[in-house]
């Protein structure tokens, strides 16, 4: 479905189809129902709106609470009216909503942290449903740590935010009263590891910049832990690489305990 367009040069049946679609997208502002569309169009419009709203409310509960019912309904209405979905699948609606927030910037007043918070809620759905590609030859524990290659959790995302999204809630007046706030919210770099553990439970762990960089290196390279830690020590200009190895091994052990690292393999 495409948003409003000039379609009067089309055949009459296509004009009728487009008129029906336009009404479904924006029934409150389309006054053409009484002239040409059946009364049942109202039912279809209500079903479309309620189905999409139910899906989004489930995926973005904190966003809805923070916005309140009036602004939330306005936002959902603008999404239905203006966004051209690339997928017909119901389960893809949250993905389409995120694309709408990121790329189309809805013409409505929203809190400055809205995009970060929405992404944080959306990524939980991604982590719940993402298929895991397990490494067939990995050991379940780190054996001879320095000579082995760590295997990262197959369902893992490094997340960078400007606001403490994991702490934002409608029960906190600081965030709930965003419309009355006169000063911008303080921005602070937040790095989270979002992943799914062996019990299929989604978890988020806040990381410091060094641990996050270590994970980035592990995501890009298939080198043993000694090589990875020496590279990291060089990047941060650590004065004593041997001492850093002890520090780095503690980080790797912690990541293994958190199930961010799930095993290790031998070097080829």
Give the pLDDT confidence of 19-43 residue by residue, as tens digits. Answer: 656 656 666 665 555 466 666 666 6
* Whole-angstrom distance, CA of residue 185 vs CA of residue 182: 9
**195: β partners:** 156, 203
Give the single-character DSSP code of 205.
Answer: E
Residue 1 has pLDDT above 60, yes or no: no
CA distances 91 to 51, 52, 87, 94, 163, Å, are: 11, 10, 9, 7, 27
CA distances 42 to 20, 34, 79, Å, are: 10, 11, 19
- Mean pLDDT within 233-261: 91
**What fold, for 134-266?**
Outer Surface Protein A; domain 3 (3.90.930)
State residue 5 phi and psi, 5-degree precision: -155, 165
Domain 12-110, CATH 1.10.890 — does that match? Answer: no
> Which of 117, 135, 126 shows the shortest CA–CA distance to 156?
126
Report the sign of the C-alpha dihedral through residues 121, 123, 126, 131, in that order. Answer: negative
Contact 197, 157 (CB under 8 A): no
What are the boundaries of each domain within the chain?
Answer: 12-110, 134-266
- Mean pLDDT within 228-239: 92
Residue 2 has a pLDDT of 47
Contact 252, 145 (CB under 8 A): yes
Residue 4 has pLDDT above 90, yes or no: no
For residue 154 the two structure tokens come to 């197959």
Confidence of residue 84 (pLDDT cuts 50, 70, 90): confident
- Mean pLDDT within 142-150: 73
Beta pairing, strands 261-266 & 202-207:
unpaired
Helix axes 114-129, 93-103, angle to 10 degrees: 150
Residue 27 has a pLDDT of 66
Residue 140 has a pLDDT of 64
* Whole-angstrom distance, CA of residue 219 vs CA of residue 239: 25
Between these two residues, 124 and 243, which has the higher pLDDT value?
Answer: 124
* Whole-angstrom distance, CA of residue 266 vs CA of residue 245: 19
Beta pairing, strands 261-266 & 156-161:
unpaired
Percent of the chain whose pLDDT exceeds 70: 79
Model confidence, pTM: 0.84
- Mean pLDDT within 125-129: 95
Confidence of residue 133 (pLDDT cuts 50, 70, 90): confident
Contact 31, 13 (CB under 8 A): no
Mean pLDDT over each residue of the chain, to the nearest integer: 85
Q: What is the distance of C-alpha 188 from the center of its chain?
A: 19
- Mean pLDDT within 190-196: 98
Confidence of residue 169 (pLDDT cuts 50, 70, 90): very high
* Whole-angstrom distance, CA of residue 94 vs CA of residue 72: 14
Confidence of residue 15 (pLDDT cuts 50, 70, 90): low
- Within 13 A of 20's CA, how many CA atoms are on the CB side? 14
């Amino acid at each position: 479905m495409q948003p409003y367009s000039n379609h009067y040069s089309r055949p009459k049946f296509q004009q009728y189809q487009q008129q029906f679609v336009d009404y479904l997208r924006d029934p409150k502002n389309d006054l053409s129902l009484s002239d040409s569309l059946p009364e049942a169009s109202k039912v279809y419009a209500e079903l479309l709106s309620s189905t999409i709203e139910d899906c989004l409310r489930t995926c973005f509960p904190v966003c809805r609470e923070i916005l309140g019912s009036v602004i939330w309904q306005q936002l959902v209405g603008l999404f239905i009216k203006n966004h051209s979905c690339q997928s017909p699948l119901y389960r893809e609606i949250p993905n389409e909503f995120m694309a709408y927030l990121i790329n189309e910037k809805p013409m409505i007043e929203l809190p400055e942290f809205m995009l970060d918070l929405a992404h944080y809620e959306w990524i939980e759905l991604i982590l719940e449903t993402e298929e895991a590609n397990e490494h067939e030859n990995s050991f379940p524990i780190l054996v001879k740590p320095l000579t082995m290659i760590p295997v990262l959790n197959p369902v893992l995302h490094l997340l960078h935010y400007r606001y403490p999204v994991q702490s934002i809630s409608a029960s906190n007046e600081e965030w709930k009263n965003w419309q009355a706030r006169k000063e911008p919210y303080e921005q602070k770099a937040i790095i989270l590891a979002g992943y799914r553990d062996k019990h299929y439970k989604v978890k988020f762990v806040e990381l410091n910049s060094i641990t996050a960089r270590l994970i980035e290196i592990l995501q890009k390279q298939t080198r043993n832990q000694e090589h990875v830690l020496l590279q990291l020590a060089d990047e941060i200009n650590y004065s004593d690489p041997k001492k850093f190895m002890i520090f780095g091994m503690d980080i790797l052990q912690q990541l293994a305990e958190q199930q961010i690292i799930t095993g290790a393999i031998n070097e080829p």
